[in-house]
Every structure is written in structure tokens, then in C-alpha cells.
Amino acid sequence: MIRCVRMWTGEDGDSLFEEGCVELAGGVRGDSVGRPIPVGELSFQETRSGGTYEWHEDPVPRFVITLSGTLEFETKSGATFTIRPGDILLAQDNTGTGHRWKLIGEDPWRRAYVVYASGADLQFKPMTTEQPA
């Protein structure tokens, strides 16, 4: 299981988020493998430690794969979540009030931006809350 946080724009124009994972199935050698996702563009970026980015929305729907650094994201409602190395952000809040982030700790934020093809099966599975019996 690979942790993934999906962020999107709600009907009121504010960013919302939910935790989940990218679905994987059994593969050879005992590996867990995801199905291929058609993509159109890959780029890399690095922000030095202490970096922040004030209110903004993502320019295009994409995966943001964190390679190093720990960040705290915040939405206009004041809700926050943390992204750590190995986590994926599914950035779909491309309109509205957006979000902001700040780096926590001493490591730079190194990440890969992966723009996925329109209509692709993104294999995001929201976390479900088990109901008591």
C-alpha cells in the first residue's frame, strides 16, 4: 500500500482532502504492483528547507510524489495534513481558494510531478472507516 492524499475543490470553492492509498495487487517475487496509469508529463522540483508557498491551487490535475522532505498542507477551513517521503499527493484542486504548505524540518522538498492522462483510472482508494458491529 502506498499512502495517497487526494485534494480537490469542493462545491463551495474550497479545497478538501481525504486520505487513502494507491491500489496494488500481488506480483512476481512477492512484489505489490499497480496497474499502469497513462501519463503525459513528468518533471522534478526541489525547494530548500524552510520553504513555504502561500495560497494557490495546482495548475493541472497531477500526482505529486514526495522523494524527500516533510510538509504540512492547510486548506482555507484550517484543516491540515502532513506529507512525508514516499507519500503521494493527488492534486485535483485546480480552481477555487486552493491550499498552502510549509516545509517542516531540515530536509529540502524533492518531488516528482506526474501529469496523468484525462480519464485515466488513478487507482486511488479512499480510506474507509470500519463501523462497529
**3-class SS letters over 37-81:** CCEEEEEEEEECCCCEEEEECCCCCEEEEEEECEEEEEECCCCEE
- Establish if 97 belongs to a structural domain: yes
CATH code at position 24: 2.60.120.10
- Establish if 131 belongs to a structural domain: no
- Establish if 31 belongs to a structural domain: yes
Over residues 26-67, the pLDDT tens digits come to 888 889 999 999 999 999 999 999 999 999 999 999 999 999
- Establish if 19 belongs to a structural domain: yes
Residue 93 pLDDT grade (very low, low, confident, very high; cuts 50, 70, 90)? very high
Q: Number of folded domains in the chain? A: 1
The reported pTM is 0.90
